[in-house]
Structure 1
Amino acid sequence: MPRLDVDIDYLSEQLRGLLKIPSPTGFTDSITHAVVDELVRLGVEPEVTRRGAIRAKLKGRAKDPSRALIAHLDTLGAQVKLLKPNGRLEIVPIGNWSARFAEGARVTIFTEQGAYRGSILPLKASGHTFADEVDDQPTGWQYVEVRVDALVRDVADLQRLGFHVGDVVAIDTQSEFLENGFIVSRHLDDKAGVAILLTTLKAIVESGKKPPVDTWFVLSIAEEVGVGAAAVLPHDVAAMVTIDNGTTAPGQASDEFGVTIAMADQTGPFDYHLTHELIRLAREYDIRHQRDVFRYYRSDSASAIEAGADVRTALATFGVDASHGYERIHMHALRSLAELMTAWATSEVEIKRDAKPLGSIEGFPHQPTAPAEPDIEPSETLPARE
C-alpha cells in the first residue's frame, strides 16, 4: 500500500490546540482528556492508565506481530522549591533543561486555590539598580526566581494566596506559526509528535483500509523524566516507532526539513531491521530523509527496553533547532514524518517470526556481512604506478 495523503491543515490545527494546553510532567490530566476526545472523534476506542497515559488500537487484518507508534504528551516545566522571604518563588526544573532558556519566560503557577501568572527573572533583574552585575551573574536555577503577578511581598502573602512548595509551573509556549512554514514555540518536543501521530491515524482511518496487523497509537505522560513507554506499551507489541524531535545543531545531521531517522542515542543503537525498514520506505516513497546519532538524548524507546520489553524500536524525528530551548521546526518535516508513518503502518510485516515472542532460529533475520561490491574498478579511480 503506498503512503497515504495526510491532512496538513488538520496537523497544524491539532498542534495549535495542543500547544495551548499546559502539560508539564506530572500535570497532564487536561491534555489526556483532550487527546482522548480527539481519538474518540477519529473513531477509535482509547484505553487510559491510572495516571493518564493513553493507548488506542486500530485493528489490522491480523493480530500479530502488532505494531505501535508512540509520542509523549508531557513537556518540560518547573516546580516550586521554596517560598522566598521577598515574596518570590524559588523553582527547580521538571525535566532536563537549562535556566538560560527560563529567564524572561512568562508562566502559570498552579496552586490548590487556582492559577496565577508570573515571570521567571534573574535574581538581579533591574539594569537601573545592578548595572553590569545583571550580565555578570551566573546561569543556573539557583540564580532565577518567579515574580508572581499578585500583591505578594513576603512568605505570609504567598501562603495567604495558597502557594505551596511543589506547585507546578507551566512555561508559556509563545507560539508563532509563520506563513513560510516555520513554527517557533516552546514544547514542540513532543506536541508536534502528538500532532503527527493523530494525523497518521486520521489518514489511515479515512483511507478505509485496514493495516496488515493490529497497530497501537500510544501517548506516554512522563517521557521528560525518563519513564515514557515503560508503563503503557502493550505486551504483544513486536515493533515500536517513537515520534520525537531531532536535534538540529552544529555537528548533527538532523535537518528542519524531511525526516531525520535516528541510528542511535545515548542508550545505544536502535533496532537495525526496523530502522532500515524506515529508511527503505523513505527511499521507496521519495520522502526526504537523513540519518543522525544523538549523544545526549533518550526517548520512549529507551524506557521500553529498560523496562524489559522485547520489542524492536526505532526513532523517527522532525528536526528541531534549539531543542529544549526556544524551539523551531518547519511544517515540511512534520508532513514528511506523517507520510512516513502512514507508509510504515500500512506496509506488510517483514519479519513474520516476530509474531511469537520465542521460537526456533527459523525465520530469524540476518544483518548484511558480505564484502561490498565496488561500483568501479580501482584502476578507474587511482593513478597508474610509474
Structure 2
Amino acid sequence: MPIDQGYLLAQLKALLAIDSPTGYTDQVVRHCYREIERLGLTPELTRRGAIRAVRQGARRKGARAVIAHLDTLGAQVKLVKDNGRLELVPIGHWSARFAEGGRVTIYTERGSFRGSVLPLKASGHTFNDEVDTAPVGWQHVELRIDALTHSREDTLALGIDVGDFVAFDTNAEFLENGFISSRHLDDKAGVAIALASLEALQREQAETPVDVHFLFTIAEEVGVGAAAVITQEVAAMVTIDNGTTAPGQNSSEFGATIAMADQSGPFDYHLTKKLVDLCRANDIAFQKDVFRYYRSDSASAIEAGHDVRTALVTFGIDASHGYERIHAHALVSVARLVTAYARSPLEIARDLKEVSNIKGFPRQPLAEADQPTVNIDTGTQTADPGN
C-alpha cells in the first residue's frame, strides 16, 4: 500500500513543534485528536489523555492495536537556587550530557519563560581547564532563566517554582537526502508513522479482517505507557518505537527493525514471525534486533495484566535519548509494514476469544531443520534435496 511520505514528514514536523514532556502533553493530545478526526475516525480520550481510535474491520473481537507514544523526555524544577537559577531532575531516563547547552521553555502556572541549561562551570574564561574536567550529571547543571533574576526571591516572584515543567528545543533539521536530526524523534516519529499508516488505510478504503485500534499513550517515558488504554477486544498489539543503531546492535536507519526481545523478555513468537513474513512477502527491507536496556508500551501492557500478543517494530535511531538521527526510508518502511499487518489475514482464529480450549492453539517448530550435507571424504557440501 503506498505511503504518502510528504504527509508523514509534515506530521513529524508538526509534532516536533509541540512540547510534550511526560506530564505536560495536553497540547500534543489535542493536535493528534484533531488529525485523527480529520482522517475520518472518532477518537476517544482516557481521563488523562491517552487516545484510542478504532478503525472498523470485519470483526470487533480479536482486534489488532497499533500503538505509539506522544510524550517525550524533559525535566522538572527540583529547586530554586539562591542564585536564582534552577536545579533540575530529568523526566525519563537520559543523560545530563545531552542537556548541557540545551535551549528550553519553562512552563509555569503564570506562563512560560525561556532559558538555557548550563554546566555549573560554564565559562572557560573563568574556570579554564575546569570546564573540561567537570563531572557529568543532573546535579552538575543548572537552568539559567532569560529574565531579570539574581536570587531565589527574584525567581519565585516571576512565578517559577518547584515542579514546573522544562521542555527542550528539538533543533529539528530535515535534510534533502532523507536524514532527519532532532531531539524527541522518540517517539514523535512513531506517532507520525501511525498517522501515515492510518491515512493510507483511509485513502485506499482498505478492508481489514478485524478492527484496528490506533492507540497513542502519554507516559511511556516513565514506564506507564499502555497500561490503561487497551480494551478487552484487543488480541494483538504492535508497538512502534525507536530501535538503537549503535555498536553491538543490529538496528539500521534504513528499513524496518523488528525487535525479538527487550529487557522485559521475548516478544510474542507468532506475532513477531508474522511481521517478519510480511516484510518478506511485501519486499520491505528489514532486520532483527534484541535490546538489553530498553522497554516500550508493550512491556507496560503486559505488566498491567493485558493478555495480548505483543510485538515491537522500530525505526533505527542513532544516539537515542540524545541528539537523535533517523532516515525517512525507515519511517516509510515501518508504515508499509503496519498497513500490511492491518490488512493481513487472521491466522490464529482462537485469538477471537480471551480463553478457550486447546483446539487451534498454534505450534512452534520442533523438528530438526533441513541442513546441507557434507561429504566426509572430500569435504564438499551438497544442498539437501528438500531445499
TM-score normalised by the chain length of structure 1: 0.97
Aligned counterpart, 1:179: 176
SS in 2 for 1:196: helix
Q: Cα distance, 1:382 vs. partner?
A: 6.7
What letter matches 1:377 in structure 2?
T
2:292 to 292, 295, 299: 295
Match of 1:383 in 2: 379
Displacement of 1:383 in angstroms is 2.5
**1:15 aligned to 5, 12, 17, which one?**
12
Q: 1:264 to 1:166 in 2, by over 3 A?
A: same
User: Mind listing any 5+ residue stretches in structure 1 that lack a counterpart?
Assistant: none
Partner of residue 259, structure 1: 256
Distance in 2 separating the partners of 1:97 and 1:193? 19
Identity of aligned residues (%): 64
Do 2:60 and 2:233's aligned partners in 1 also have CA atoms closer than 8 Å? no
Question: How far apart are the structure 2 equivalents of 1:341 and 1:382?
Answer: 49
| Matching residue of 2:140 | 143
Cα distance, 1:164 vs structure 2: 0.6
Aligned residues: 380
Shift >4 Å, 4+ stretches: none
Once the 2 structures are TM-superposed, how far is the Cα of residue 64 of structure 1 from its aligned partner? 2.0
- Partner residue of 1:90? 87
Task: Tell me if the contact between 2:87 and 2:139 (Cα under 8 Å) persists in the aligned partners.
Answer: yes
Deviations 1:65-101 (A, max 9, x none): 1000000000000000000011100000000000010
Give the Å deviation of 1:235. 1.8
What is the correspondence of 1:1-386 to structure 2 with a 5 Å cutoff? 4-374=1-371, 376-379=372-375, 383=379
The DSSP-based 3-state class of the residue aligned with 1:243 is strand
TM-score w.r.t. length of structure 2? 0.97
Aligned partner of residue 6 in structure 1, secondary structure = coil
Letter in 2 for 1:188: L
SS in 1 for 2:375: helix
- Report how far residue 233 of structure 1 moved: 1.1
CA distance in 2, matches of 1:136, 1:243: 39
**Unaligned runs of at least 5 residues, structure 2:** 381-387
SS in 1 for 2:275: helix
CA displacement 1:28-47 (0-9 Å, x = unmatched): 00000000000000000000
Deviations 1:148-188 (A, max 9, x none): 00111001110110011000000100000000000000000
Partner of 1:64: helix, strand, or coil? Answer: coil
> Secondary structure of the residue that 1:62 maps to in structure 2?
coil
Q: Distance in 1 between matches of 2:135 and 2:164?
A: 25
